[in-house]
Amino acid sequence: AQSVTQLGSHVSVSEGALVLLRCNYSSSVPPYLFWYVQYPNQGLQLLLKYTTGATLVKGINGFEAEFKKSETSFHLTKPSAHMSDAAEYFCAVSLLAGTALIFGKGTTLSVSS
C-alpha cells in the first residue's frame, strides 16, 4: 500500500533563508509525486509534480523538488523564503495517472521577518 510521511509537522524559517520540507513515500511501483500548498480557508494548489523523466522538478513560486528513488524521497526546497510562503504544504503520491491521491499529514511553514 502507498503511504506518505512528512517529517516535521511545523517548520520555521527566517525570510530569505532556505526552505526544506521533507517527504518520504512508500510504494510498490514508481509513483507519481506531488506537492500541494494550502493557504488558510482555501483549497489546495499544485506546486509541482513528478511523473516521468527529469528527477529535478521545478514548480511555481520558486519551489523545486528532487525525486530520489534510492531514498524514496521527494523533498521540497526553495532557496530564499518569502513571507507569502507561510502556508500548509502537503506531499502526495498516486500509483496511476488521475487516480486517488494519498496525502501526508502536512507541514506548516512559518516565515519570520
Partner 1 sequence: DAGVTQSPTHLIKTRGQQVTLRCSPKSGHDTVSWYQQALGQGPQFIFQYYEEEERQRGNFPDRFSGHQFPNYSSELNVNALLLGDSALYLCASSLVGLNSYNEQFFGPGTRLTVL
Q: Site residues (CB under 8 A) for partner 1? A: 4, 32, 36, 41-46, 49, 51, 90, 92, 97-106
Q: Shortest Cβ distance from residue 80 to partner 1 (Å)?
A: 27
**SS3 assignment, position 85:** helix
Cα 26-70-102 angle, rounded to 5 deg: 20
Which C-beta is closer to partner 1: that of 58 or that of 105?
Answer: 105
Work out how close the CB of 53 gets to partner 1 at its nearest, in angstroms, rounded to a whole number.
11
Please answer whether residues 102 and 94 qualify as being in contact, where contact means their C-beta atoms are separated by less than 8 angstroms.
yes
Q: 17 or 44: whose CB is closer to partner 1?
A: 44
By residue count, the chain amounts to: 113
